[in-house]
Amino acid sequence: MDEAWAILRQARRFQQQAPERRLSGRRLLLLFYEPSTRTRTSFEVAARRLGAETVSVTAQSSSIEKGESLLDTVYTLQAMAVDGIVIRHAASGAPHLVARNVHSTVINAGDGMHEHPTQALLDGYTLWRHFGRLEGLEIAIVGDILHSRVARSNLLLLTQLGARVRLCGPRTLLPPALAEAYGPRVRATYRLEDALDAVDAVMVLRLQMERMQAGFFPNEAEYAREYGLTPERLRLASPQALVMHPGPMIRGVEISAEVADSPQSVIREQVENGVLIRMAVLDRLLGQTAAQGAPAMMAKG
């Protein structure tokens, strides 16, 4: 976890002081096979702030649509001398496959239901920025846990940094084994009131309809009735509790507009922190590559 703390501290340094263009001359490829607004733009802004050049390739505008295999696409693009590849893919493990087959640094920007490491780091940073610590914090993660890479990466990171996590969602979207896999700092509950009781932060997740083949819940109205975060429910949390959401959020389903826009909501700040975290990650990985002439890899959280 020293690595995670080093990234959080570097993000704080970037927040306090505008960085010099320390990645000048480096080239970053943004390879996005799944739609993304925040993550892709955030990596792009972060790279440019550090002076790096970016090349963006999305599934809708490339040979990916013509059925070219992932590795063929990557080999072709790597021939254009990129130092780093940021990849988002619907298949869990895709960044690892790429990392095993290229010399460039590979950064996972979200792979299927598996992981989204920079999202967890920015969430951890947001909590640290507000509370000055992570040790002993009680965090509720509410919603579609089953399909969420955000939940998995946060479970790994937050528990290792000393927080406790309560997972909450309908039984179909929260298998008990999932909570058990992350050790004694994690527990599952199916009652939102129980999950929210005196927590320091609530992380609300989107229903990942694109990953659901069957009916995991009756309908959105029913889901909102049971698990939607409303002002009344938020009152069960600690008075200073933060409301977080990785986005994109569906107002009126998992979170009410009133809560999303309330003073307790740090959803927009998460986006701002995302740029700082991605700057810190790029600096660490591409800066290191420059210094040591060796590839670094962050395909895993």
| 118, 300 Cβ separation under 8 angstroms | no
Q: CA separation (Å) from 55 to 71, 80, 129, 218, 265?
A: 17, 10, 31, 42, 33
* For ligand ASP, the closer CB: 82 or 151: 151
The number of beta carbons lying within 10 Å of the beta carbon of residue 187 is: 16
Cβ proximity to ligand ASP, 110 vs 124, nearer residue? 110
Please, which residues have CB within 8 angstroms of residue 63's CB and are 6 or more apart in sequence? 73, 76
- Rounded distance between C-alpha atoms, residue 237 and residue 142, angstroms: 13
Q: Of the candidates 170, 228, 246, 274, which one interacts with ligand ASP according to CB under 6 A? A: 246
**Which residue number has the CB closest to ligand ASP?**
206
- Does residue 110 interact with ligand ASP by CB under 6 A? yes
DSSP states along 28-79: EEEEESS--SHHHHHHHHHHHHTT-EEEEEEGGGSGGGGT--HHHHHHHHHT
Please report whether residue 121 would count as binding ligand ASP according to CB under 6 A. no
Report if residue 51 touches ligand ASP, rule: CB under 6 A.
no
Q: Please report how close the Cβ of residue 149 comes to ligand ASP at its closest, in angstroms.
A: 5
Where residue 200 falls (left for φ over 0; alpha for ψ -120 to 50; beta otherwise) is alpha
Exposed/middle/buried for residue 213 (C-beta within 10 Å: 0-12, 13-18, 19+): exposed
**Residue 235 CB, nearest distance to ligand ASP (Å)?**
26
Looking at the Cβ atoms of 176 and 248, the one nearer to ligand ASP is 248
Which of 247, 250, 271, 296 binds ligand ASP (CB under 6 A)? It is 247
Location of structure tokens 């988002």: 88
Nearer to ligand ASP, 84 or 246 (CB): 246
String of contacts with ligand ASP for each residue 204-243, x by CB under 6 A: --x-x-----------------------------------
Residue 23 or 156 with smaller CB distance to ligand ASP: 156
Cis peptide before 248 (omega within 30 of 0): yes
C-beta of 197: minimal distance to ligand ASP in Å?
A: 25
User: Of the two residues 10 and 148, which places its CB atom closer to ligand ASP in the complex?
Assistant: 148
Under the binding rule (CB under 6 A), the answer on residue 170 touching ligand ASP is no
Binding site for ligand ASP (CB under 6 A): 110, 116, 149-150, 206, 208, 246-247
